[in-house]
């Protein structure tokens, strides 16, 4: 079976391989030993931390194949972005120029550097080994985070965002970034993205354009990709849109990929997940797939299972094998979400 659990120090080698396999544009996991070990330590501390309100916690989880012990995927949630390091976006807006004297009215799109998402929770670090991209594994890995948000809502910002990877080629070059490199930053896209992933963002405040950028003055190929996603990211975007996430005119400062958002309480899976009481025994046959998660924090577990569970039913029978894997006892609560 596949089970999602909090990352631990022993997962370093697996996380390093994920960082390599994920390739360019996966900012949250740069190929850097010091940073990856720091991310693991931060996650371990976050899962064990008592909080009064969300701050800079990061909940990084791995997907483990229990048959082999191999880590085959990752997913994560940031509690509240921008609380310690600046969290930049471009806000896509419109300026209006009108002259009655000459009877001309123009609406010009602009990009303005901002920190508007400071304090929002962020879905991040979603990756699944290509050999496991089947049997709803990707959907389960992504949507399991909503069960965690539903169970531990007090640990997260009221708005949840997700940054979608923007358009880039096989070498990691972004058509949007080209003009920024030429006129402002002077370093290539891969290096800038890597530094951002390391948390070394001072150069952004020093070198990014401080005034609004007129979109019409950008090269046509740069204009074309504003708000567009990388082809490999389209399925993830569609999944989030089905959960109620919307594009509110915020894009990434490097590749112009869209950021989507939804109020935590309005996420479809958060609203539709529910708690049932565990009974351990012989599971009735069923073709109904559910994402399941326990209610724990440091010992959080999530997976998927075929359950005999109807609307309004307040208990469910699971096998001893599943109960053990999920760290559940008779009478415990299990959060479930129909696939």
Q: List the catalytic residues.
A: 230
- Residues 71 and 69: their CA atoms lie apart, in Å, by 7
Q: 297: which 2 tokens?
A: 């924090």
Question: Is-contact 149 270, C-beta < 8 A?
Answer: yes
DSSP 258-302: EEEEEEGGG-HHHHH-EEEEEEESPPPP---EEEEEES-STT--E
Place of tokens 């209006």: 96
Backbone phi, then psi, for 234, in 5-degree steps?
A: -60, -45
- The H or E element that residue 188 is part of is none
Question: Is-contact 301 194, C-beta < 8 A?
Answer: no
């Amino acid at each position: 079976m596949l089970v999602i659990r909090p990352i631990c120090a022993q997962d370093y080698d697996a996380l390093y391989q994920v960082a390599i396999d994920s390739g360019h544009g996966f900012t949250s996991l740069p190929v850097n030993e010091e940073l990856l070990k720091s991310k693991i330590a931060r996650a371990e501390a976050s899962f064990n931390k008592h909080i009064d309100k969300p701050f800079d916690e990061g909940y990084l989880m791995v997907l483990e194949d229990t048959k082999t012990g191999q880590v085959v995927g990752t997913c994560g949630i940031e509690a509240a972005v921008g609380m310690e390091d600046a969290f930049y976006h471009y806000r896509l807006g419109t300026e209006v120029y009108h002259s009655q004297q000459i009877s001309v009215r123009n609406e010009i799109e602009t990009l303005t550097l901002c920190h508007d998402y400071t304090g929002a929770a962020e879905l991040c670090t979603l990756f699944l080994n290509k050999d496991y991209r089947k049997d709803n594994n990707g959907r389960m890995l992504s949507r399991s985070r909503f069960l965690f948000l539903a169970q531990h809502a007090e640990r997260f910002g009221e708005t949840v965002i997700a940054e979608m990877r923007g358009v880039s080629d096989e070498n990691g070059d972004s058509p949007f970034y080209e003009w920024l490199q030429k006129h402002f930053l002077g370093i290539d896209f891969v290096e800038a993205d890597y530094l951002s992933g390391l948390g070394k963002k001072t150069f952004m405040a020093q070198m990014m354009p401080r005034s609004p950028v007129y979109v019409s003055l950008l090269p046509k190929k740069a204009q074309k990709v504003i708000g567009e996603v990388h082809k490999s990211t389209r399925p993830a975007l569609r999944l989030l849109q089905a959960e109620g996430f919307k594009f509110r005119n915020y894009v990434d400062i490097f590749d112009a990929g869209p950021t989507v958002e939804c109020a935590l309480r309005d996420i479809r899976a958060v609203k539709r997940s529910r708690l049932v009481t565990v009974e351990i025994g012989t599971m009735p046959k069923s073709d109904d797939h559910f994402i399941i998660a326990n209610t724990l924090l440091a010992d959080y577990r999530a997976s998927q299972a075929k359950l005999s569970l109807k609307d309004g039913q307040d208990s469910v029978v699971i096998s001893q094998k599943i109960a053990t894997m999920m760290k559940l006892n008779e009478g415990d609560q299990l959060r479930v979400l129909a696939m």
